[in-house]
Chains A and B, each alone.
Chain A
């Protein structure tokens, strides 16, 4: 298993949200500001990586019959740790994401990776799998946040970026973001639940289009090569 292949798999060809189609609840629910998206994405990345490492480290000693129960306990443990740390050190993020932080426990990405990948692979490979799958998830969240925030309220980086006194990143969620065009011109419907469904639907459609096109191109290239060989 090489790292480069894992990287493209996690971010594009086997992206957890756009291709595996899992973990969609939080993806649609919290992608209203960049602050929420980045916070949620990084939380999942950290939890996923930790769980992957632990699960693959103990994969040989846990009995097969109760492996799912043990995975769930491990995941719940890491989720609670992240939840407590957020409450203590970044309360604004904890408030904004609310119940969706503890709900990472039932996010299919984590248990899915534990079951499908870490059970059969080494600690190192699982570690990189966690990082790249987590990055893939974060990337989708960021794209959705930027799209919904920009078109919905004409803003970029709400909560995360503050330009009132020069450019700076605000980790306490107070930054007003960069106003690209007046808020009143935004299609505020995109910030509502409706916008979540539509944006994710469009993203997956674009992904399917791109994957199909590249598959077709590959096919055509192979065909051309074959024909060329035949001619020779």
Chain B
């Protein structure tokens, strides 16, 4: 019994020391991590709809389960919607800008795990990605890829990613419209 107690004590001690060290590292990096995340979201927001400031508004979460949050621009430029939906490989998180006429002002993909070289182009900062995302500007809630009767040219080899992004953009605009 004594032996078990001793072993447990040693294991506990090792855990405690490790946890202590991690605590210190966390203390050092904590603020920077928060800062990095804030910068990332801010950049995405500014890319779709620049405004003086943003404030979160309430919406019907049951009707729009894929919408994470809706931010209203304090200067009346419109809304920025953050939405998470499934793409071809995993979930995609995207910011969608919506102007007061319920038209899309731009989209920006914050997080994704699409196939590199195909679906990932939707999020890339290359010319191809920028041009593809530019197609969404001015679209309304019926935005769709050409195959489904809309105006968005799907990315080569990534019809599914393109379709999901187009659908999610439509949902985001509808969610804003439902605010009234």
A binding-site residues for B, Cβ under 8 Å: 32-33, 62-63, 65-66, 69-70, 73-74, 76-77, 80-81, 84-85, 87-89, 91, 95, 98, 152-153, 158, 174, 176, 183-184, 186, 188, 191-192
A81 and B157 within 8 A (CB): no
**Contact B33 A84, beta carbon cutoff 8 Å:** yes
Q: Is the CB of A89 within 8 A of B32?
A: yes
CB-based contact A69/B156 at 8 Å: no
Does B40 touch A at the CB level, under 8 Å?
yes
Binds A, one of B22-30, B52-60, B159-167: B22-30
User: Is the pair B29, A88 in contact by a Cβ cutoff of 8 Å?
Assistant: yes
Smallest beta-carbon distance A196→chain B, Å: 11
Expressed in whole angstroms, the Cα–Cα distance for A152 and B126 within the complex equals 17
* Most B CB within 10 A of own CB, among A76, A80, A186: A80
Rounded to whole angstroms, the CA-CA distance of A166 and B105 in the bound complex is: 34
With A88-B32, A174-B125, A191-B117: A81-B21 Cβ-Cβ less than 8 Å? yes
Q: Do B18 and A77 touch across chains, with their CB atoms under 8 A apart? A: yes
Residues of A close to B40: CB separation below 8 A: 91
Query: A73-B18, A87-B33 given. 6 additional CB < 8 A pairs?
Result: A63-B10, A95-B111, A153-B117, A158-B116, A176-B125, A184-B156
Cβ of A88: which chain B residues have Cβ within 8 Å of it? 29, 32-33, 36
A63 adjacent to B157 (CB under 8 Å): no
In the A-B complex, the 9 residue pairs with the smallest Cβ-Cβ separation, listed nearest first, are A153-B117, A88-B32, A77-B18, A88-B29, A32-B116, A84-B29, A91-B36, A191-B117, A87-B33
B11 at the interface (CB under 8 A from A): yes
Task: List 15 A–B pairs whose Cβ atoms lie within 8 Å, in order of A's numbering.
Answer: A65-B7, A66-B7, A66-B11, A70-B14, A73-B11, A74-B14, A77-B21, A84-B29, A85-B29, A95-B111, A152-B116, A176-B126, A183-B117, A191-B117, A191-B118
Q: Which residues of B contact A176 (CB under 8 A)?
A: 125-126
- Rounded to whole angstroms, the CA-CA distance of A63 and B11 in the bound complex is 10
Residue of B nearest to A175 (CB): B125
In the assembled complex, B113 has its CB within 8 A of some CB on chain A: yes
- B117-134 contact mask (Cβ, 8 Å, vs A): 1 or 0: 110000001100000000
Name the residue of chain A whose CB is nearest to the CB of B117.
Answer: A153
Neighbouring A residues of B157 by C-beta, 8 Å: 188
Interface residues as binary, B133-168 with A (CB distance below 8 Å gives 1, 0 otherwise): 000000000000000000000001100000000000
CA separation between A106 and B157, bound complex, in Å?
34
Taking CB atoms, residues of chain A closer than 8 Å to B32 are 88-89
* A residues in contact with B26, CB < 8 Å: 84
- Min C-beta distance of B133 to chain A, whole Å: 16
Q: In the complex, what residues of A have CB within 8 A of residue B118's CB?
A: 188, 191
Cβ of B14 and Cβ of A73 under 8 Å apart?
A: yes
Q: Which residues of A contact B156 (CB under 8 A)?
A: 184
Contact B14–A188 (Cβ < 8 Å): no
Our pick among A70, A77, A84, A95 for the contact of B11 (Cβ within 8 Å) is A70
B115 within 8 A of A: yes
Q: Which of A73, A76, A84, A188 contacts B117 (CB 8 A)?
A: A188
Closest chain A residue, CB of each to CB of B8:
A66
Q: How distant is the Cα of A186 from the Cα of B115 in the complex, in angstroms?
A: 14
Contacts of B7 in A (CB 8 A): 63, 65-66
